[in-house]
């Protein structure tokens, strides 16, 4: 069974997908981690970011990135070295969105993501899981939340739990700009799949949003193929 969870930055999709997968004994596929691994590999190889749009399939293969199932998730490797922790580094954060906008990169990683999913019960999260990567997923979910809620979550990840108004405003504006870029990009723009169930997590506790997703998955298992949320 494949469950695709999409949504904008700060909507809680990755943490929710991870918790849901753990509860149900599924694997969790974090698509963003694939882009991060490729970004780290390009940085390590000394390839200037302005040259990335010219990378072809052979160049991408040469970066030697891979993923292996482990502990109901995946470990990520560059040239055989486990870089699962390193892909969260600030330098990667600063460059990954540029890598993810490149058509050739998304096309190349599409095959890698589908290969990683073969034979697995899977919860996959990203921005185009239900629209592009797994268009025939058994269940599609689109998580969202108010911009301020998403900004507070992102700041909390940096241990800023009581932001001053200026900090909160700046983070909210940054997320709204990210939304604009993701929604307007030419390749695989962020959008809700026609048959995706919409869950607004504004005001929900984390356990509650995990419960809602688990309930949807269990309902889909009982009902078989169909369209939840129509």
Q: What is the DSSP string of 59-105?
A: HHHHT-EEEEEETTEEEEEETTEE-TTGGGSHHHHHHHHHHHT-HHH
Q: What is the pLDDT of residue 133?
A: 95
pTM, two decimal places = 0.85
Q: What tens-digit pLDDT sequence spans the chain (230 residues)? A: 999 999 998 898 999 999 999 999 999 999 999 999 999 999 999 999 999 999 999 999 999 999 988 888 899 999 999 999 999 888 998 899 889 889 999 999 999 899 888 888 999 999 999 999 999 999 999 999 999 999 999 899 889 999 999 999 999 998 999 888 888 877 778 899 999 999 999 999 999 999 999 999 999 998 875 544 44
HSE of 15, CA atoms in CB hemisphere, 13 A: 14
Query: Rounded to an integer, what distance in angstroms lies between the CA atom of residue 83 and that of residue 41?
Result: 10
Query: Rounded to an integer, what distance in angstroms lies between the CA atom of residue 198 and that of residue 215?
Result: 14
Q: What is the pLDDT of residue 230?
A: 41
Note the helical H segments in 101-146.
103-117
Q: What is the pLDDT of residue 99?
A: 93
What structural domains and CATH numbers belong to the chain?
1-26+121-225 (3.40.50.300), 31-119 (3.40.50.300)
Q: What is the pLDDT of residue 225?
A: 59
């Amino acid at each position: 069974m494949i469950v695709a969870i999409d949504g904008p930055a700060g909507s809680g999709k990755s943490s929710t997908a991870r918790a849901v997968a753990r509860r149900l004994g599924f694997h969790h596929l974090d698509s963003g981690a694939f882009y991060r691994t490729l970004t780290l590999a390009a940085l390590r190889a000394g390839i200037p970011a302005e040259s990335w749009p010219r990378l072809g399939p052979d160049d991408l293969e040469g970066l030697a990135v891979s993923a292996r199932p482990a502990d109901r998730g995946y470990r990520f490797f560059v040239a055989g070295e486990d870089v699962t922790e390193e892909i969260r580094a600030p330098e990667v954060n600063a460059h990954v969105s540029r890598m993810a906008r490149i058509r050739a990169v998304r096309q190349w990683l599409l095959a890698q993501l589908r290969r990683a999913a073969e034979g697995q019960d899977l919860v996959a999260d990203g921005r185009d899981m239900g629209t592009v990567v797994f268009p025939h997923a058994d269940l599609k979910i689109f998580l969202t939340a108010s911009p301020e809620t998403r900004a507070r979550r992102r700041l909390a990840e940096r241990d800023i739990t009581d932001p001053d108004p200026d900090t909160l405003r700046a983070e909210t504006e940054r997320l709204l700009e990210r939304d604009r870029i993701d929604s307007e990009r030419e390749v695989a723009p962020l959008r809700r799949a026609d048959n995706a169930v919409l869950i607004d997590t504004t005001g929900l506790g984390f356990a509650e949003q995990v419960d809602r997703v688990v309930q949807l998955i269990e309902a889909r298992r009982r009902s078989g193929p169909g369209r939840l949320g129509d």
